[in-house]
Amino acid sequence: MEFVHIKNNTSIVKNLAVKYGFEYCGIAKAVKLDEDARRLENWLNQGMNGAMQYMENHFDLRVDPTKLVPGARSVITMLMNYFPAESPRTGTPKISRYAWGNDYHEIIRAKLRHFLKEVNEQIGEVNGRGFVDSAPVLERSWAQRSGLGWVGKNGNLINKRSGSYFFIATLIVDLELEYDDPVAKDYCGSCRRCIDACPTEAIREDRVIDGSKCISYFTIELKDMLIPDEMKGKFENWMFGCDICQEVCPWNRFSTPTREPEFSPIPEILNFDLRDWNALTEESFKKIFKKSPLKRSKFNGIQRNLKFIQTK
């Protein structure tokens, strides 16, 4: 009888994932991530987090789901496609595709709240917490464990059917569910396109990403600091984030446009040329990009990045 309940509850969870617009849903048993803990500790010890001090905080929470949700039994991982149907004009300052629409944190966080509410309504009292790239959760590890893909050489989760242009949402619950088989194989093979294409050599041969060298780190994470001179001429016109390692990935030939209207590109991102960006005032920036991930860099950060990519 218990098995029937678990099976029915799993069906409810996976049906809700479809209802809320997630393309994929996988479930893994909530266990401590000992191997990931060792990898993360080694990565931090080598200083690859750069100025991202928050990566060092709450280490025990990152590797043990029961520290985030007491009595955690299952980790539900869902993927939401953000690949845009349209593209900006060529030659303009480049922005990572995930930031072309409205801020995914707010959109997906709201979906997870409603999702958990419906789980309680349909199953009974379930304690849980939802996370989307803003809390100490190793979401790519959980996605791999729940059968949604593998972590590629570029550090991104890659789904064999749809590529890597996905946001990862995690829901940790104290509910036992059916668990999916992990993706045991690495389908990158001998391909090294992302390694060869990265202009700052942030993707190492040993499949480790040096976050302190990534263009996204310099254009988003580095706050109130000058971008090092040795990086001049290496950004290939990326003003906010970077998609190079995804653009060259063969698996992204399977990418299809998102169905989520909130991720539709903001008109200015499609239409602004370099003169428009340079002429942008702080007041206009706050108005146009009030719902955009670009607000994370703030107006001064965008101005700094613009000047840097125009400096030869």
Mean pLDDT for 169-176 is 96
Question: Which of 74, 69, 100 is CA-nearest to residue 87?
Answer: 100
Mean pLDDT for 238-259 is 97
pLDDT digits (tens, 9 = 90+) for 124-142: 999 999 999 866 568 889 9
User: How many angstroms separate the Cα of 239 from the Cα of each of 132, 168, 217?
Assistant: 24, 24, 11
| Contact between residue 6 and residue 128 where contact means Cβ atoms under 8 Å apart | no
| Contact between residue 96 and residue 22 where contact means Cβ atoms under 8 Å apart | no
| Contact between residue 134 and residue 75 where contact means Cβ atoms under 8 Å apart | no
Number of domains in the chain: 1
Q: What is the pTM of this model?
A: 0.92
Residue that wins the pLDDT comparison between 138 and 231: 231
Letter for the amino acid at 307? K
Mean pLDDT for 35-59 is 58
Q: Are strands 166-173 and 128-131 parallel, antiparallel or unpaired?
A: antiparallel
Tokens of 66: 């029961």
Tokens of 21: 């617009």
Q: What percent of the chain has pLDDT over 90?
A: 75
Handedness of CA 46, 48, 53, 58 (dihedral sign): negative
Q: How confident is the model at residue 207 (pLDDT cuts 50, 70, 90)?
A: confident
Spatial CB neighbours of 83, under 8 Å, sequence gap ≥ 6 = 97, 163, 165, 255, 256, 257, 258
Give the three-state DSSP class for 24: strand
Q: Is 186 marked active-site? A: no
User: Does residue 71 surpass a pLDDT of 70?
Assistant: yes
Highest mean pLDDT among 31-45, 46-60, 200-214: 200-214
DSSP states of 33-63 as a string? -HHHHHHHHHHHHTTTTTT-GGGGTTHHHHH
CA distance 79 to 148: 8
Mean pLDDT for 181-201 is 95
pLDDT at 67: 86
Average pLDDT, the chain: 90
User: Does residue 48 surpass a pLDDT of 60?
Assistant: no
Residue that wins the pLDDT comparison between 60 and 231: 231
Q: Where in the sequence is the domain holding 60, given as residue range(s)?
A: 1-312
**Which of these is catalytic: 36, 64, 133, 174?**
133
